[in-house]
């Protein structure tokens, strides 16, 4: 005798209980819509200019598969210990978790993985292809291109004007943000894979451009190293230095005496690096910027760190002249500014306020108002004053010549440079395959794009993805498509920063990153947007028991003969990895 229903669950109405199998009831015939599994693109992946499968490595970390996560990361990013430290992490700005509590600290997790592989032994990859490639410049664009080419089996020679490789990572970014030994070990890994790097070789001077004809293709990534002048009378003379040249000097071990008062002109990242470096050399630093803090091109994090270290700021002010006495710098003649109409960059144009001149004393002025291309760093016929134009595969208008990084007229960041280098490597591979008569992709296929140009997946190019994709729709998952009921609030584990008083005393690294365990905890905060991570909620919630595990243990199968299309699985899916489609479509 069955127990009265009320004794089992209060409030549940009487239900029909079948003594035989329900499989005979083919309830699947009722449905007019059906659920399907369809992986979509996580916003972090879409936002990453390097094209890293961030969601993919977070998912592996969730299962403590740390070494596999490192492998996945290295498939796309040649220098994760660098990007984990200095990338401006647009992935975090895109992170859906931002709308829930705080974004996942992706850069900190990436740094942990990057540091882990710094000393991982690597074996040289055999040059199985007959073609050779020259890369001009060993910044992130050049090294990124070389890395992906060598992984595709090509012999690559990098020609670098400076005495050490790394571009701005070596010449511009100070030790307290990116220790030199970290950079050197990342570059060693690239070298050990089989990339030849020849330093002290300026193409166009030590190595004629014509000699590059012996290579089957050339990648040009010389960056933008010409400091823009202040444009005021008297700037050529003692006490007024190019900010980039100053950083270069300090990065190679010099400790110049700047005097007591240093004025940095500019509001970008170079200005922040100059001011914070000046502090570490014992000076007081004042940043003079012609717009307000809100318009500063420097990323907010950099500005906040500079403020914490007691860099002073004078906004809405610009120099109009340099005052010297007996050849010695006394300071800058300045004027106050106000914001007028928006200019071509969309920011409000700074306009001088009449009769508002004032004087700012300075022992040294560091000029950091931007960098432009050096026309001598380009071969004839390549580029105009603004930069080199390329197609979606990094090919320039000159046959066999590809370009990327700061030399393009686009965003100037390490991540964009790495992405551009990879894009060109795939373009060069495409060119060679075409010449060999192999079938090549005419345009960038949707699945390669992660939604926009610049962040291609080398893995998908090679078609050797270790992670099975289900449906792989090239569509980004918005926050609204997540079922946030299944997530708990948890605070972000941010970088551990040294206290400002200690930072100012030297060039030791400011951020200590996260320990492995904390980074793994942080990775578990990831929603895995758009990708089935086998959580089984679809299976648990299916009222028809129509969902079961695949035989190989990966993914699920839906028994459509019994799924009546109620959509509960789709509604319950926490990460928007399922969708409902019309029957018969």
Q: Smallest distance, Å, CB 430 to ligand FAD?
A: 21
Q: Smallest distance, Å, CB 541 to ligand FAD?
A: 43
Q: Smallest distance, Å, CB 522 to ligand FAD?
A: 21
Distance between CA atoms of residues 162 and 198, nearest Å: 10
Q: Which residues contact 461 (CB under 8 A, 6 or more apart)?
A: 426, 429, 448
Q: Among the candidate windows 106-114, 120-128, 133-141, 569-577, which touches ligand FAD by CB under 6 A? A: 133-141
Name residue, tokens 């990338």. 87
Q: Does 394 interact with ligand FAD (rule: CB under 6 A)?
A: no
Among 43, 84, 142, 267, binds ligand FAD (CB under 6 A): 142
Q: Are 560 and 541 in contact (CB under 8 A)?
A: no
Nearest residue (CB) to ligand FAD, 88 versus 393 = 88
Q: Does 88 interact with ligand FAD (rule: CB under 6 A)?
A: yes
Q: Does 136 interact with ligand FAD (rule: CB under 6 A)?
A: yes
Count of residues engaged in binding ligand FAD, rule: CB under 6 A: 40
Q: Which of residues 171-230 bind ligand FAD (CB under 6 A)?
A: 172-173, 202-204, 221-223, 225
Q: Which of residues 474-493 bind ligand FAD (CB under 6 A)?
A: none
Distance between CA atoms of residues 220 and 388, nearest Å: 9
Nearest residue (CB) to ligand FAD, 244 versus 578 = 244
Q: Among the candidate windows 86-94, 98-106, 424-432, 440-448, which touches ligand FAD by CB under 6 A? A: 86-94
C-alpha distance from residue 88 to each of 57, 83, 353, 570 (Å): 19, 8, 34, 35
Among 58, 141, 190, 329, binds ligand FAD (CB under 6 A): 141
Nearest residue (CB) to ligand FAD, 138 versus 528 = 138
**H or E stretch including 219?**
strand 217-220
Q: Smallest distance, Å, CB 91 to ligand FAD?
A: 12
Q: Are 93 and 87 in contact (CB under 8 A)?
A: no
Distance between CA atoms of residues 538 and 574, nearest Å: 9
Nearest residue (CB) to ligand FAD, 224 versus 332 = 224
Which token pair is 534?
């086998």
Nearest residue (CB) to ligand FAD, 202 versus 348 = 202
Instruction: Kindly tell me the burial class for residue 329, based on how many C-beta atoms sit within 10 Å of its own C-beta (0-12, 13-18, 19 or more).
Output: buried
C-alpha distance from residue 282 to each of 27, 99, 265, 279 (Å): 78, 42, 19, 5
Nearest residue (CB) to ligand FAD, 183 versus 407 = 407
Which token pair is 431?
């060119």
Q: Smallest distance, Å, CB 197 to ligand FAD?
A: 10
> What single DSSP character describes residue 353?
P
Find, among 378, 371, 415, the residue nearest to 169 by Cα: 415
Nearest residue (CB) to ligand FAD, 40 versus 191 = 191
Distance between CA atoms of residues 170 and 190, nearest Å: 15
Q: Which of residues 235-274 bind ligand FAD (CB under 6 A)?
A: 244, 247, 269-270, 273
Q: Smallest distance, Å, CB 436 to ligand FAD?
A: 29
Task: Give bridge partners of residue 335 from the DSSP assignment.
Answer: 318
Among 140, 319, 379, 576, binds ligand FAD (CB under 6 A): 140
Beta strands in 303-425 (DSSP E): 312-314, 317-325, 328-342, 348-352, 358-361, 364-367, 371-372, 401-403
Q: Smallest distance, Å, CB 504 to ligand FAD?
A: 19
Q: Which of residues 153-182 bind ligand FAD (CB under 6 A)?
A: 159-162, 167-168, 172-173
Return the SS3 of 141: helix
Q: Among the candidate windows 93-101, 386-394, 412-420, 512-520, which touches ligand FAD by CB under 6 A? A: 412-420
Q: Smallest distance, Å, CB 153 to ligand FAD?
A: 23
Nearest residue (CB) to ligand FAD, 115 versus 406 = 406
Letter string b/e over residues 68-90, b meaning 16 or more CB atoms within 10 A of that residue's CB: bbbbbbbbbbbbbbbbbbbbbbb
Q: Among the candidate windows 401-409, 466-474, 485-493, 495-503, which touches ligand FAD by CB under 6 A? A: 401-409
Q: Smallest distance, Å, CB 207 to ligand FAD?
A: 7
Q: Are 364 and 264 in contact (CB under 8 A)?
A: no
Q: Which of residues 488-527 bind ligand FAD (CB under 6 A)?
A: none
Q: Smallest distance, Å, CB 87 to ligand FAD?
A: 5
Q: Which of residues 299-358 bind ligand FAD (CB under 6 A)?
A: none
Nearest residue (CB) to ligand FAD, 90 versus 565 = 90
CA 313 to chain centre: 28
**H or E stretch including 270?**
helix 269-280
Distance between CA atoms of residues 461 and 123, nearest Å: 22
Conformation bin of residue 71: beta by default, left when phi > 0, alpha when psi is -120 to 50: alpha
Among 92, 235, 406, 522, binds ligand FAD (CB under 6 A): 406
Residue 556, φ and ψ in degrees, nearest 5: -130, 155
Contact set with ligand FAD (CB under 6 A): 86-88, 136-142, 159-162, 167-168, 172-173, 202-204, 221-223, 225, 244, 247, 269-270, 273, 371, 377, 405-407, 412-415, 417
């Amino acid at each position: 005798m069955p127990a009265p229903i009320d004794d089992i669950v209060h409030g549940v109405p009487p239900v029909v209980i079948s003594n035989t199998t329900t499989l005979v009831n083919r309830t699947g015939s009722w449905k007019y819509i059906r659920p399907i599994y369809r992986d979509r693109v996580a916003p972090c992946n879409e936002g990453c200019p390097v094209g890293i499968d961030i969601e993919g490595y977070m998912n592996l970390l969730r299962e403590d598969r740390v070494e596999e996560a490192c492998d996945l990361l290295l498939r796309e990013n040649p220098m994760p210990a660098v990007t984990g430290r200095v990338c401006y992490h647009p992935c975090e700005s895109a992170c859906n978790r931002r709308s829930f509590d705080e974004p996942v600290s992706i850069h900190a997790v990436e740094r942990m993985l990057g540091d882990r592989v710094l000393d991982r032994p690597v074996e040289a990859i055999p040059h199985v292809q007959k073609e050779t490639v020259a890369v001009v410049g060993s910044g992130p664009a050049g090294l990124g291109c070389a890395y992906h080419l060598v992984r595709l089996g090509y012999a690559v020679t990098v020609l670098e004007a400076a005495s050490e490789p790394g571009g701005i990572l070596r010449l511009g970014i100070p030790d307290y943000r990116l220790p030199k030994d970290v950079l050197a070990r990342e570059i060693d890994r690239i070298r050990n894979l089989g990339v030849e790097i020849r330093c002290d070789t300026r193409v166009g001077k030590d190595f004629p451009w014509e000699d590059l004809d012996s290579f089957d293709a050339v990648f040009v990534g010389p960056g933008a190293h010409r400091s823009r002048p202040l444009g005021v009378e008297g700037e050529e003379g003692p006490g007024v230095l190019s900010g980039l040249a100053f950083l270069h000097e300090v990065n190679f071990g010099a400790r110049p005496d700047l005097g007591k008062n240093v004025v940095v002109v500019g509001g970008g990242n170079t200005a922040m690096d100059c001011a914070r470096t000046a502090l570490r050399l014992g000076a007081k630093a004042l940043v003079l910027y012609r717009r307000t803090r809100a318009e500063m091109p420097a990323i907010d994090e950099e500005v906040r760190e500079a403020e914490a270290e007691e860099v002073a700021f004078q906004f809405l002010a610009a120099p109009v002249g340099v005052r010297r006495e007996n050849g010695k710098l006394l300071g800058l003649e300045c004027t106050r500014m106000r914001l007028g109409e928006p200019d071509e960059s969309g920011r409000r144009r700074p306009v001088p306020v009449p009769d508002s001149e004032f004087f700012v004393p300075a022992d040294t002025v560091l000029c950091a108002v931007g960098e432009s291309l050096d026309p001598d760093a380009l071969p004839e016929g390549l580029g105009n004053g603004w930069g080199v134009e390329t197609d979606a595969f990094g090919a320039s208008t000159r046959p066999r010549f590809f370009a990327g990084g700061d030399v393009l007229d686009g965003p100037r960041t390490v991540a964009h440079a790495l992405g551009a280098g990879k894009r060109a490597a795939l373009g060069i591979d495409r060119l060679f395959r075409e010449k060999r008569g192999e079938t090549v992709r005419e345009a960038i296929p949707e699945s390669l794009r992660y939604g926009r140009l610049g962040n291609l997946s080398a893995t998908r190019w090679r078609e050797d993805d270790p992670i099975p994709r289900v449906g792989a729709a090239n569509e980004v998952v918005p926050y609204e498509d997540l079922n946030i009921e299944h997530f708990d609030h948890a605070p972000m584990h941010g970088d551990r920063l040294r206290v400002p008083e200690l930072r100012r005393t030297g060039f030791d690294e400011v951020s200590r990153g996260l320990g492995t365990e904390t980074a793994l905890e942080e990775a578990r905060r990831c929603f895995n947007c758009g990708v089935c991570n086998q959580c089984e909620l679809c299976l648990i919630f299916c009222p028809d028991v129509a969902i079961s595990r695949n035989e190989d243990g990966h993914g699920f199968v839906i028994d459509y003969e019994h799924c009546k299309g109620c959509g509960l699985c789709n509604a319950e899916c926490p990460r928007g990895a399922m969708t409902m489609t019309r029957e018969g479509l």
